[in-house]
Amino acid sequence: MFDFLQGYNLLGAFWVTVQLTVYSAIGSLIWGTLLAAMRVSPVPLMRGFGTAYVNIVRNIPLTVIIVFTSLGLFQTLGVSLGADRFTTINFRLAILGLTAYTSAFVCEAVRSGINTVPLGQVEAARAIGLSFPQVLRIIVLPQAFRSVVGPLANVLIALTKNTTVAAAIGVAEAALLMREMIENEAQLILISTIFAFGFICLTLPTGLFLGWVAKKVAVKR
């Protein structure tokens, strides 16, 4: 029944999916937090930049962003991210595109977390003379992150599913393999079931685990 799987690197494709997810998740957590910091900072220009970035990026299809990293950044501007084989370049470009896109959502999640921190905490922090970066780093962000584990888990799961868009620039992840297999094998239902199952294996445990973490770390008020 599963003979047709011969010659396809199913695990390899899902491994690429996992790698895309992990690298982009780290990237967007960092860039998204920075964006959130910009959006609440005392510098108007930074606030404006953060707002503009989020509003533009959230409204562009991820597909456009991913294709643009290849066509615009690589083909035209010559950004190859330190690699010289197409496969590596496309992989890294996909991570860049996913990070750029996901950061906007991370930023909004973190910002909503910042809004849950009680005024009194911030006022107390300022009263003892902490500067804006200190208020953010020591008082606000630690609490904000604890309250946004749930929303961030959703962003992570959306990211896992979004990695399939990397197929548009030929990154050999799960969706690209699925398309190839559908074209070559007359086993549509079985193939689709396998890939659906694969993604459920990735997203469901992540959701369950982070849901548990979210309850664990939630700030009791």
User: Contact with other proteins (CB under 8 A): which of 26, 115, 124, 138?
Assistant: 115
- Chain centroid to Cα 164, Å, comes to 12
Q: Decide: is 56 part of the binding site for other proteins (CB under 8 A).
A: yes
Q: Decide: is 137 part of the binding site for other proteins (CB under 8 A).
A: no
Q: Are 117 and 140 in contact (CB under 8 A)?
A: yes
Tokens standing for 193? 């079931």
In sequence order, the 6+-apart residues with CB closer than 8 A to the CB of 2 are 190
Q: Decide: is 67 part of the binding site for other proteins (CB under 8 A).
A: yes
CA atoms within 13 A on the CB side of 214: 15
Q: Decide: is 145 part of the binding site for other proteins (CB under 8 A).
A: no
Residues 4-33 close enough to bind other proteins by CB under 8 A: none
Q: Are 98 and 159 in contact (CB under 8 A)?
A: yes
Residues 189-218 close enough to bind other proteins by CB under 8 A: 192, 195-196, 199-200, 203-208, 210-211, 214
Q: Decide: is 74 part of the binding site for other proteins (CB under 8 A).
A: yes
Apex 60 CA angle, 55 and 61, nearest 5: 145
CB of 177 to other proteins, least distance (A): 11
Stretch that binds other proteins, among 1-9, 22-30, 91-99, 114-122 (CB under 8 A): 114-122
